[in-house]
Chains A and B, each alone.
Chain A
Amino acid sequence: MSRRCIVVDLDRCSGCHTCTVACKFENELGLGNYRCDVIDVGPVGTHPNVQMYWLPIMCQQCENAPCVEVCPTGSSYRASNGVVTLDESTCIGCKSCLTVCPYSDSDGRTRPSVRWLRSDTNTVTKCTLCNHLTQNSDGVENEDDTYDVDHCVPPCVHNCCNGARFFGDLDDEKSPAAKAVAQAQSQGRAVHYLEADGAQPVACYILSKDVAWQGLDNSCVLYAKG
């Protein structure tokens, strides 16, 4: 089974929220609903000796996805290409997935939260890697045809203003995601997973060599203030 995900280079991300907004347009989320978001991390330290970076978050594509296990309607499921996805049309808004997802607010209404309880439909929404577009894609974009089913990428990846997001199957060495990880490894940069509760996320973050990873302790600012 493939390990499809988004890889983010934290040295590149500048917190511009293009991913947030591109996702809202693609998935018609309306106001106040989010499938992806960006966390301001820091500044850590005391001015002028401070460090700061931005941490985009989205469904971490857990290998042991608790959301799939607890969903009473099968709305949260692992698609045949391995992507942890969600069918909003059958979601009953029971919040079970919100309760078990280690990356979500339990009410799905407070940012940041990778699963979100929509205010308009009272159903849960979350990043599906735009599987409706990308399920057959190798992640290598066709520059002449965005909707080439063999090469389509999520709009958050395509439009990323800093080239910080990479999509694809980590097990496919030709995918941009796998290449980004390999390049990071060759440069001695750490590749970090937001491991939690044994969920084994596939999404990963290429850390900076210059700016210290802060974990997610008290110094994190967990509200996207722009």
Chain B
Amino acid sequence: MYRETREEGFMSKTTLSRRSFMQAAAVASAAAAFGATLGGCTKPSTVEVDDVDKVQPATEADAETSGRQEPLAIPDYDFYTTSCHGCITTCPVKVYVKDGVVRKIEGHPAGAENNGSACVKALNQIHTCYSPRRVLYPMRRTGARGAENMAFERVSWDEAIDEASDKWLEIFEKYGTYSMLSTTGGGGAYVPAPMLPAVSASCYSPNAFEPGAAQCFLPRVCVTQLMGFKMSDSIADNEVREPFKGFSKADKEAGITNDCEVLVLWGTQPSSSQTAKAGRAMAELRANGCKTIVVDPMLTPDAAKATIHLPLRPGSDCALVLSWYRYIFENKLYNEQFTKYWTNLPCLIDPDTLLPILATDVFEDYIAPTPDDTPVYICIDEETGEVSPLPYGMPEDVGVNPSVFGEATVNGKSCKTAGQYYKEEAEPWTLEQAAKFCWLDAAKIEEAIKLYVSPHQNGSDGGAGIGHGVATDMMECSSQAPIGTAGLDSIMGYIQMPGCTLTLTGVGAGGPGGGMGGAGLSLDSTNKWGKCIADGAQPRPTQSETTDFGIGYIMGATEEANRANHDSFASPEQDCFQRIVLDRLGVSNHRGLAHWYQSHIPAVRQAMETGEPWRPRAWLDTSGNKFAMLGSAGAWYNAAMGNVEYVVHQYPHFTSFDAELTDMFFPTEEWLEMWNPGSSQLNIETPCGSIIHLGEAVDTGRPYSRFLQAFYDKANQKLDSIVFNGTGQTLAEIGVQFPLVNVRSGSDESNKQQRIKQGAALLGLEAAEGESITEEQYRQAWKNNPVYKVSTPSDEYWTYGHYLVLADDGLPYGFPTVSRKVEVYCTAMVRLGQTGFPYNWPNGFDSPVDERIATFHGTYAPICVVPKAKETPDVGAGFEDYVMDFDADFPLALTSGRRVFFHHGTMRHAPYSRELYPVPFAYINPATATEYGISDGDWIEVSSRRTQGSDYDPSRAGTERAYSGEKKQDTKTAEPIRTIAYVTEMVAPKVVFMERFWNPECFDNSQKTKTGGWAECGVNVLTNAVDANFNEAFGSYTNRGFAVNIKKSTRPERVWVTPEEFEPFMPTATNQASEEAGSVMGNPALLTDVSSFDPVEVPASAGGPGGPM
């Protein structure tokens, strides 16, 4: 047992001590030994810096007595420059090959952010790729579903595609198009991002989701975009770039230095999450003198190294955010100039519409000095105290000194400024009150705020900013928290300035529209779907595909212009498309899901379970392990197992999802095999390509696109018998056919040619007149070439103040919002809650969202508010407005986060990761451990309401979809999970930290009996995607900050913990899912010559020109 090993590990301290003492006596040395100090017996001797020269060098004689020449063993490998796809950061790497087998991976020194580093995930790709548990051929389930019966047989690609498409056609004919569901997720190499949600849309179905949307990134990227930034403040998603400046070889050569003086990491942990890239940047930043503030319940590596760590109670983020506002407002620490003229906080708000009041509605005959697409609102003039128009323009030109705070009577109504709303919302959150609610020290909060505002207060050349991580995406506050943090940076004026996180790059190179789309282009945001409509597809009139607003809608254009734009798309297909957009399950209340065209995941699960309003029956999934990665995994298991009729899954390995549910499995490549995109870290580009190939695995883009094409071909013969459930008509009656939208395959043959073209350009290869570079030519030039390219010179890449550049209308570009300012008071959130604007424009919802889910005067909060938490530990009296209930049965709060060894659900079968992190250790404070009688290294069980049965009053659930009457099903999945306790001061008392997990060893052939491996240690058995207080705008369910209990337990069956147990996962073992004996790595039968490998031809028609993501 691991626990025994652990005890030996701790006992070894004494062992070492005793032995060292004996040894010390024997050699008559008085010096302290490494281990001797462990017993506290002697003090370690330290040779400090001053003593360096006093260390006596060994004599030459020492060397001579034993000295001999060690043989030099430089391997004769070839290498290829490519990029790791073990997570989303695409670090440039070099991959070394000999005899067709990858021998070594290392970081590429030219990587702009990784600077030569490669993390354990990158290195372990060798084991993942050559895993004996790779599935290298299409597989068909031959027995009953359920891991215990796990039986598959190898089939040909043709058989697999034919059979799966037949099964789908049967389901479509019987139940209509809404019976189809497509899902993805996972990140890294495995996600053909363009496919979702276009796959379901192509089949006239609204059912599509990935768990990494509403629970990861979507809320942050959506609200920041709606506030006026073409990027989020996420430091971990290739969004925030400014803190990474100045550390790359290219930047150093250009004399570019870093300007980031203070960086706040709010619920993000770069050193654990994206170790080689963002983690490396953190190390460089700190070494450069940048001060950091880390807001995280866990003592992450970045927290341990922070200037100030605020280990807040999981789930209390918004209260802390508001305490910062309160303190900054009260002490006038904000950037007054920026707040007055470049944010909408001075605007007077109509209390009925909750929107800014137009000057023309107040002042008769007022003629706006700005064009129709740039509204003039009203404010309170600080000089006169009177209500005044607030025209848009450079501060010196607008002729008014607007007050950020205040109240005035307008048209007979008492109206507050947007700033006043914020001030009042923050009013309860004094430092002391926030400290009490968040379990923090008030003085520490104050210290952090003072540090955060210091660059502005000091008039420094450098900047500050908040990097906002995934943590809040996984809680009730997924919309309110990032609105709050992006707003903080805004009122500080930390926008588009050196050293500030909310700063775009590359603008200098391509004008204001360059780089990430530019900051100030209020007229070029358009809808990516424009290119997807199959019939009559045409390029949008504007080119910047950076937002996902309503059909044809351009943020900032006039109503008239948008209407004309929309009408240009009129067609039966467009009607069907708009119908399915509105019909996405759960979107009627959680309207922000439309930003990425997602369904609300709990609503899909409920539909699967109840058949209402329709049941998804044909499921295509392209991610790693839905049973491990979806919240409330037990409920998902119960919903899916008996109700989904046919499941197709593609992935390089069998996961729990396959062990339990999949009917047809399509094997896909690992990133060493793919023609995946190369890396573009900052302004550095590196090439890529397929380096090796195994079995019949294919690129992630191929299986589903070929499968779908086969399905379309068959279904188009049956259009009169397939019903579009959106209208109840058959497709023949509507006059449409499959596909509704084109699905861009991730990497089909044309994509390969595109990669070769890109790579050839990087390599400086030029094709002869009328010819293109062949793969062979490319490979020859690519091999042993450390090539990289500076795509934009560093001095043009790092640019600032884009909003001040003058646009065609003579006004500064400003920000892409209706007001052309940063909307710290996010009017789009108000309208989103009221009508679904801008996503479903012009066919919005008829009524506002259910008031029970709304947190701001009946609609979505445009500012940071503290939403009610469903489950919390005991926070004491006085917080009843913010906490739903405390349940003494579950008195602890669970929080989560990545460990360095894994990305999402990946790498659980990578033996070198698992031997170092075999189970998702439960980090528990010693005081809590003592209270529960738990010792370090004990196996414990962790339970939540999801494992105990639910008898809660559904009216307490916060949404329209309250899942009323739903009871936890009494199945095997309701068991608490088990793991090993790590008793440590890294977390506060009453807090438990665990990483999500699954255990592929549970269905390994070496086991006598099998399970799916998702229920033993999987945190998602505990998370709440059933009756959580789903976030109002995005429906985010609760993966963190919910209530759990713990108690001492025993090791579960089948779970491996000691290094030796993982031997079946080593690449030396025989492949489990192939007929050839021997390991994958050394088996010539499984090694395919990449240059000749092309087992699956994807029909050209499956690849369309556009894609939603």
Contacts and interface: CB of A to CB of B under 8 A. Distances in A.
Interface of A: 1, 3, 11-12, 14-18, 20-22, 24-26, 30-32, 42-48, 50-54, 63-66, 68, 74, 77-80, 82-83, 85, 87, 99-100, 102-103, 105-106, 110-111, 119, 128, 131-133, 135-136, 141, 143-147, 149, 152, 155, 158-164, 171, 181, 184-185, 188-200, 204, 211, 213, 215-218, 220-226
5 contacts: A18-B123, A48-B311, A52-B304, A78-B66, A191-B52
B304 A51 contact: yes
A32 B1066 CA distance: 12
Contacts of A194: 34, 44
Interface of B: 6, 8-10, 12-13, 15-16, 19-20, 23-24, 27, 29, 31-40, 43-49, 52, 55-58, 60, 62-63, 65-75, 77, 79, 94, 104, 106-107, 109-110, 114-120, 123-124, 126, 249, 271-272, 275-276, 279-280, 282-284, 286-287, 299, 301-302, 304-305, 309, 311, 440-441, 444, 786, 899-901, 911-913, 915-917, 921, 925, 982, 984-989, 1058-1060, 1062-1063, 1066
Contacts of A66: 27
Contacts of B913: 21
B24 to A, nearest CB: 6
Given A20-B916, A163-B115, A216-B34, 20 more contacts: A14-B271, A25-B912, A31-B912, A48-B309, A65-B62, A78-B67, A102-B23, A132-B73, A135-B70, A147-B74, A161-B275, A162-B282, A194-B44, A197-B33, A200-B56, A217-B38, A217-B43, A218-B39, A226-B900, A226-B921
Contact of B72 (A78, A82, A119, A149): A149
B93 to A, nearest CB: 9
Nearest to A80: B67
Given A16-B275, A105-B16, A143 B109 contact: yes
A217 B40 contact: yes
A57 to B, nearest CB: 9
Contact of A30 (B68, B69, B1066): B1066
A66 to B, nearest CB: 7
B49 A184 contact: yes
Contact of B74 (A52, A133, A185): A133
A74 B119 contact: no
Contact of B46 (A128, A195, A223): A195
Contacts, number: 316
A14 B265 CA distance: 16
A103 B911 CA distance: 26
Of all A-B residue pairs in the complex, the 8 with the closest CB atoms, nearest first, are A32-B1059, A14-B301, A63-B58, A162-B283, A215-B44, A143-B109, A132-B73, A77-B66
Contact of B15 (A105, A132, A184): A105
B1060 A119 contact: yes
Nearest to A133: B74
A47 B279 contact: no
Nearest to A164: B283
B901 A226 contact: yes
A162 B986 CA distance: 21
B280 A197 contact: no
B120 A16 contact: yes
B1073 to A, nearest CB: 22
Contact of A197 (B16, B31, B104, B441): B31
Most central of A48, A78, A152 by chain B CB within 10 Å: A48
A80 B63 contact: yes
Given A43-B986, A48-B988, A74 B66 contact: yes
Contacts of B52: 181, 185, 191
Nearest to A144: B786
B106 A136 contact: no
Contact of B12 (A18, A53, A105): A105
A163 B109 contact: no
Contacts of B284: 163
Given A14-B301, A78-B63, A50 B986 contact: yes
A190 B48 CA distance: 5
B1095 to A, nearest CB: 30
A226 B39 CA distance: 23
Contact of B70 (A79, A147, A160): A79
Contacts of B10: 222-223
Nearest to B44: A215
Given A74-B66, A217-B44, A196 B12 contact: no
Given A17-B916, A31-B915, A52 B283 contact: no
Contact of B275 (A11, A18, A190, A195): A18
A100 B13 contact: no
A197 B24 contact: yes
Nearest to A111: B9
A197 B45 contact: no
B287 A12 contact: yes
B964 to A, nearest CB: 40
A102 B915 contact: no
A143 B73 contact: no
Contact of B287 (A11, A145, A220): A11
